[in-house]
Chain A
Amino acid sequence: MLTNPVVETYSRLAAEYDNESNSQSCWAYASQQALESIVLRSEYRLVVDVGCGTGKALAQLAAQSSPAASFVGLDPAPNMRVVARQKTQDFRQVQILDGCFEHIPLTSQSVDYLFSIFAFHWATDLNRAVSEIARVLRPAAAMDLFFVGRNNGREFIQKTSPIFLKYMGPALFVQAAKLRKQLTKDEAFALFAKYLDPRRLLIEESYNTYYDTLERHLGWWVRIEGQFVGIPAEKRQQCDSDVKKAISGLQQDRGIPYTIHEVHVKIGNI
């Protein structure tokens, strides 16, 4: 039985995840930038994408990789796995499995390269997640984890948090916040250094502000919808309307700003 509202919501919305509005959003752009920074080496035999979602990154990487490499995509949302299997069906070397950071269904020291694009912040148990990553990586393995940092989306958060508090009430508001694990750069280093060789860890962070229209910003709302399932149905419409009004208030000449704080945890090749 699924009990994680984020996983449940991603599964429910899987069919519309790659729709035009999300695919053209700032998050899609940031995801593509992360994907394009990945360089697969010819000696990799097993490449893993944790939180593979609809399998977009896997399909792109598999299309340009050597035939000797196998790819495994993990996602806990059943319908995301269905879409990911469809998207990667032309690539026999890609396998989509039920899994997540805390439960990686692979043998110890089997992975040559592990990556994840904007999924790690949904981990439910950070220590277990990193210990699982450390377990499956080969001693000389490489890794790239891109995830949402602690100071992400400040513009929207300041405007929308009072509204969510009003409609959710304090208990649900706090519960929703606990679903995300957004780390600072220092917190990320402290966490990963507990389980992986700190001499091989490289933690980078970036702040990129994207200006867009209200409609296009709302296009990526599907990515965070899981946090709002607790809002009573009868209040949801009014809550959405208040949120749109608040975000519209951020309008500048260039558009409505949204700053993505990205943390990148990297283990380079030896």
Chain B
Amino acid sequence: MKETAEFELADRLIKQIRKSNTGRTSVDTEIEPDTDLLTTGILDSMGFVELLILMETEYGYKIDLLDADPAQFSTIKGLCELAFKGGN
């Protein structure tokens, strides 16, 4: 059940990133759940802020950043794990 919800959230986030203008220089980069969004240039730090706001306000998932590992934080898969770790 949790895996399904994580998968659905990941799918929504990937679609959102593709739709957004942020990372326009890397629009051709394929986004997979474990793609590093920073090193590929798909998102910058402000793009992450926008994504976190979207996760919280639109989808209702709040991430505890103090509890997050940098490597985990920079992929969709990691962000989804963190979202569900918070008891969302």
A: residues with CB less than 8 A from B are 150-151, 154, 157-158, 161-162, 164-166, 169-171, 173-174, 176-178, 180, 182, 184
Contacts and interface: CB of A to CB of B under 8 A. Distances in A.
A170 B65 contact: yes
Contacts of A173: 45, 48, 70, 73
A166 B68 CA distance: 11
A164 B41 contact: no
A166 B36 CA distance: 13
6 contacts: A150-B46, A157-B41, A157-B45, A170-B70, A171-B66, A174-B49
B25 interface: yes
Contact of A178 (B44, B49, B69, B70): B49
A184 B21 contact: yes
B57 interface: no
B31 interface: no
A174 B24 CA distance: 20
B38 interface: yes
Interface of B: 21-22, 24-25, 36, 38-41, 44-46, 48-49, 52, 65-66, 68-70, 73-74
Give the 6 A-B CB pairs with smallest separation, nearest first.
A177-B45, A158-B41, A171-B65, A170-B68, A170-B73, A170-B65
Contacts of B39: 158, 162
A158 B42 CA distance: 9
Nearest to A182: B46
Nearest to A167: B70
A177 B46 contact: yes
Given A150-B21, A158-B25, 4 more contacts: A162-B39, A170-B70, A171-B68, A177-B49
A150 B70 CA distance: 23
Contacts of A161: 38, 44-45
A164 B46 contact: no
A161 B68 CA distance: 16
Nearest to B73: A170
A158 B26 CA distance: 10
Given A174-B48, A176-B45, A180-B46, A151 B24 contact: yes
Contacts of A164: 45
Contact of A169 (B21, B22, B36, B70): B70
Contacts of A166: 70
Nearest to A168: B70
A184 to B, nearest CB: 7
Contacts of A165: 38, 45, 70, 73-74
B67 to A, nearest CB: 9
B45 to A, nearest CB: 4
A169 B21 CA distance: 25
Nearest to B22: A150
Given A151-B24, A162-B38, A165-B38, A174 B45 contact: yes
Contacts of A178: 49
Nearest to B70: A165
A161 B74 CA distance: 10
B11 to A, nearest CB: 22
B48 A157 contact: no
A164 B45 CA distance: 10
Given A157-B44, A161-B44, A164-B45, A174 B52 contact: yes
